[in-house]
Every structure is written in structure tokens, then in C-alpha cells.
């Protein structure tokens, strides 16, 4: 056993995708907290993603400002990306495309609390991404 702490997570999860959307501020803070923790403790690069249904949505700037303010205070290296929802696409499929087109070691998702059959019935984004993702998935309930 080495004398210094060894964090396997620091080497396993170097680049993390964190999709965000308009949500309860307390839930957003919870998501930002977990993302910041991976950045602070393990030096991970955090990429926040918002899937917008149209160009120039006012909520895009609001989300970006909330992320920038929180992560800036924490001093965590991060980026904020916006993808426009393609015709016939879903938020989940756009997240999976982002994962496929770029190199991420993990995606952190926030669940609305649905699980099992109800998650499928209510088109759960987190379940759809977890099933289709090409990388590790952390779902926060």
C-alpha cells in the first residue's frame, strides 16, 4: 500500500459531460455540486451541455450564467456547450450524439425520480441516455 493516497477515479474520469436544463434551483445546485466535486477532487474537466429547442432561447443564458457563477466560485475548469435539438430528435438522442462525437469518460445526469416502468412510460431522458451511452453513467435521484 503506497504512503500517498491513490485515487483511481482521478485517472478513470478525466472528462465528464453534465447535461443541464431548466429545473428547480435546489436540484441544479445538487447537480453542480457533484460536478464541481469531481473537478475539485479529481481534476476532471467538466463540460456542461444544454440541448436547446431553438436558437437564442433566454433560458440558455440563464443556465450558462448559473453554471459560470457556481463553477467560477469553486475554481473548477469547465466549459458550457449548447446543441440545437435536431428535427425528429430528442434531448436524450442529442446527449448520446454528443457522447459519441466527443471523448467523455462519464456523463452525470439528474433524474426526475422515475424508475422502472414509469421511467419508460414518461420518456425518461436519464434512462434513455443510460441505455444508449458509450461511457459510464452516474444518475442522481
Ranking 12-16, 19-23, 86-90, 111-115 by mean pLDDT, the lowest is: 111-115
Report the domain count for the chain. Answer: 1
d(CA 58, CA 1): 52
d(CA 67, CA 117): 32
Judge contact between 17 and 47, C-beta under 8 A: yes
Q: Which residue, 8, 53, 25, 9, is CA-closest to 110?
A: 25
Residue at 104 is within a domain? yes
Residue 20 has pLDDT above 90, yes or no: yes
* pLDDT tens sequence across 26-50: 999 999 999 999 999 989 999 999 9
* pLDDT tens sequence across 83-93: 999 999 999 99
Residue at 43 is within a domain? yes
| Average pLDDT rounded to a whole number, residues 91-97 | 97
Please tell me the predicted confidence (pLDDT) of residue 113.
Answer: 63
Secondary structure (3-state) at 58: helix
Domain that holds residue 125: 8-140
| Average pLDDT rounded to a whole number, residues 7-21 | 89
Residue at 1 is within a domain? no
Alpha helices in 5-112 (DSSP H): 8-12, 25-42, 58-74, 91-101
d(CA 96, CA 126): 11
What's the first-to-final CA gap in the chain, in angstroms? 35
Residue at 2 is within a domain? no
Residue at 51 is within a domain? yes
Q: Domain containing 75 — which CATH number?
A: 3.40.50.620
Residue at 114 is within a domain? yes
* pLDDT tens sequence across 55-71: 889 999 999 999 999 99
Q: What integer best gives the mean pLDDT of the chain? A: 89
Residue 112 has pLDDT above 90, yes or no: no
Amino acid at each position: 500500500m503506497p504512503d500517498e493516497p491513490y485515487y483511481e477515479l482521478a485517472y478513470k474520469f478525466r472528462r465528464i459531460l453534465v447535461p443541464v436544463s431548466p429545473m428547480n434551483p435546489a436540484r441544479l445546485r445538487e447537480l453542480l455540486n457533484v460536478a464541481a466535486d469531481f473537478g475539485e477532487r479529481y481534476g476532471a474537466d467538466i463540460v456542461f451541455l444544454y440541448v436547446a429547442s431553438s436558437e437564442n432561447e433566454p433560458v440558455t443564458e440563464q443556465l450558462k450564467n448559473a453554471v459560470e457563477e457556481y463553477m467560477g466560485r469553486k475554481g473548477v475548469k469547465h466549459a458550457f456547450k449548447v446543441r440545437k435539438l435536431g428535427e425528429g430528435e430528442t434531448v436524450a438522442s442529442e446527449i448520446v450524439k454528443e457522447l459519441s462525437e466527443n471523448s467523455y469518460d462519464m456523463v452525470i445526469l439528474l433524474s426526475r425520480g422515475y424508475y422502472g416502468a414509469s421511467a419508460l412510460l414518461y420518456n425518461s431522458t436519464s434512462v434513455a441516455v443510460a441505455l444508449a451511452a458509450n461511457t459510464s453513467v452516474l444518475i442522481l435521484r
